[in-house]
A = this chain, B = another copy of it.
Amino acid sequence: MSDIAANFKQVSAADIAYFVKTIGEQYVLTTDSQKDKYSHDETEDLRYMPEVVLLPADTAQISLLMSYCHKQHIPVSPRAAGTGLSANSLCIYGGVMLSIERLNRILDIDQNNLQVTVEPGVITEVLQNAVKEKGLFYPPDPSSKGSCYIGGNIACNSGGPRAVKYGVVKDWVLNLQVVLATGEVMWTGANVLKNSTGYNLTGLMIGSEGTLGIVTQIVLKLIPHPKFNIVMLAPFVSMEQAAAAVAATFRAGITPSCMEFMERDAIDWVCGWLGDVTIPIAPEVRANLLIELDGNDMDMLYRESERLYEVLMGYECGDILLADSDAQKTDLWRMRRNVANAVKTTSVTIEEDTVVPRYHLPQLLTSIKEIGKKYGFRSVCYGHAGDGNVHVRIIKDELPDDYWRNEVPKGVREIFERVVELGGTISGEHGIGWVQRRYMDIKFPDFQLQLMRDIKRVFDPHGILNPGKVF
C-alpha cells in the first residue's frame, strides 16, 4: 500500500483553487460533513474519507480535471451512486473522489435505430422507464436499479435477474465516450451492432471498475418492450433439487426471462422484515425458484409455462404459486429484491458473488454449507440461479471481531477455491473492488494479473485512476 501511495501527491490549497476555478466553488466539497456520504458505499464496515469530492458537470470539465490530476499525481476515484458491494469506488488512498452525479441526462432516444445515448449518472430504473414510455426495453436490472447509476453498472458489468435471458450490461453497450487518465477523450467503438475494427476497447472498459478511464457518455442497444409476462414461485424440498431443476429447464429449450433462487431462510427473513408480504410456504420447503416468462403472445406464454411445470415436477416441486395480479407480481419481486436488505439489518454481514456453470449449482450450494459449518458461520444463499450466479451473504452473528476479520476470510477463500474447481469465478456481477482483491490469486496466475496491471499502465501511466482496486 505504501509503495503505491509514495507516488501520489496530497491535495494542496493550490489544487483546490484549480478545482474551484474549473468547476465552480459549490461543486468542490471539502468539509467532512459534505464528504461523509462519499466515504462509504454498500460494502459493510468500510470508510475512507476523500481529501476532496468534485462534482463536475460534463465531459469537458472531467477532461480538464483528469489532465491536471495526471500531471500532479493526484489519485482520482470515480463514483457513481455508491451502491457497490466490493468497495469499488472508495478513496483507499485519499485524493479526489470524482462523482458523476451531475452527468444525469438522457441525451437521445433514437427510435429508428433502437438506441439510447445517456450520461453515466442516470439512475438505471429512470432510464428503463424513459425508454419504456417509447415502447422500448433496456433489460439489465441489478437489484439496486432504483438507486444505482447506469455508469456504475458499466464499471462493474452488472447483471440482475433478467441477464439469464437478455445478457449482462456488456451485451447492451454499443459505444462509450471515455475520458482517459491523461484527460484525452475517446469514443471506444461505434453505434453499430457489429464491429471488427481494431481492439474491442468498449469491452475492455466495461467491468474495469473505473481503473482505465471515466465513462462520460454511453450508447446502449434497445429492443421493443415485451408485452406480457408470467411470474411464479416454485417451492422445493431441497436446494439441490431446486438447482437441478434450473439446468433442466434450459436443457428443455425454455428460456425464462428470470430464474431466481432463494433458500428458505432468505424468504422467512425478508417476509418478516417487509411485514406486508405474506407468502404461504409449507414447512418442508427448503428453497424456492422465482420464475418469470416474458413475450408478446399470451397464449404462447401459457403453453410455455405448462411445459415448464412439467420440467419442474420432475424435481419434487411443490404447489406453484402463479401471480394472479400485478400487485402479486410486485410483491414477489419486492421479496426477492429485499433479501439482502433484510439480512443486513440483523447483523454485520458480507456478501460473496459466486458464479459457476449452472448445472454445478447443487455442488456449490452443498460446499458452501459444509464450509460454513467448518468455520462456524451462517450464510443465506440467493441469486440468479439461471446464470449459475449465487450470492452468499455470510452473517457475523455473535462471532468475535477478531475471528470475523481473520478466520472467516479463510472460509471465503475455500468457497472461492471450490467455485474455481467447478469452472466458475469469484465475481459474477459485483466486481472485485477493494475487498475481493485478496482472492484474485485463486483465479489467476501471477503473470496474468501482471498482464492486467500492464494494461492499466497503458491507460493510466501514473496509476492515479481508482488505485487499489481489482488487483
Contacts and interface: CB of A to CB of B under 8 A. Distances in A.
B455 A156 contact: no
A199 B192 contact: no
Nearest to A205: B200
Nearest to A157: B196
A392 to B, nearest CB: 15
Contacts of A194: 157, 159, 163, 168, 355, 384, 387-389, 428-429
Contact of A196 (B388, B429, B449, B458): B429
A17 interface: no
Contacts of A424: 190-192
Contacts of A297: 300, 303
Interface string A171-193: 10000000010001010011111
B113 A358 contact: yes
A457 B81 CA distance: 35
A50 to B, nearest CB: 24
B251 A111 contact: yes
Contacts of A191: 357, 423-424
A258 interface: no
A65 B199 CA distance: 25
Interface stretch (A120-128, A399-407, A440-448): A440-448
Contacts of A449: 198
Question: Copies per complex?
Answer: 2
A300 B303 CA distance: 12
A325 interface: no
Contacts of A207: 195-196, 199-200
A11 interface: no
Contacts of A192: 355-357, 387-389, 423-425, 428
Interface in A113-133: 113-115
Contacts of A262: none
A163 B193 contact: yes
A252 interface: yes
A99 interface: no
Nearest to A448: B186
Nearest to A457: B458
A424 B424 CA distance: 36
B425 A190 contact: yes
Nearest to A300: B300
A388 B193 contact: yes
A466 B206 CA distance: 27
A318 interface: no
A250 B203 contact: no
B197 A224 contact: no
Interface of A: 110-115, 156-159, 163-164, 167-168, 170-171, 180, 184, 186, 189-201, 203-204, 206-208, 212, 223-224, 247, 250-253, 255, 296-297, 300, 303, 353, 355-360, 384, 387-389, 420, 423-432, 440, 443-445, 447-449, 451-452, 454-455, 457-459, 470-471
| Interchain residue pairs A-B with the least CB separation, the first 4 | A203-B203, A224-B253, A190-B425, A112-B359
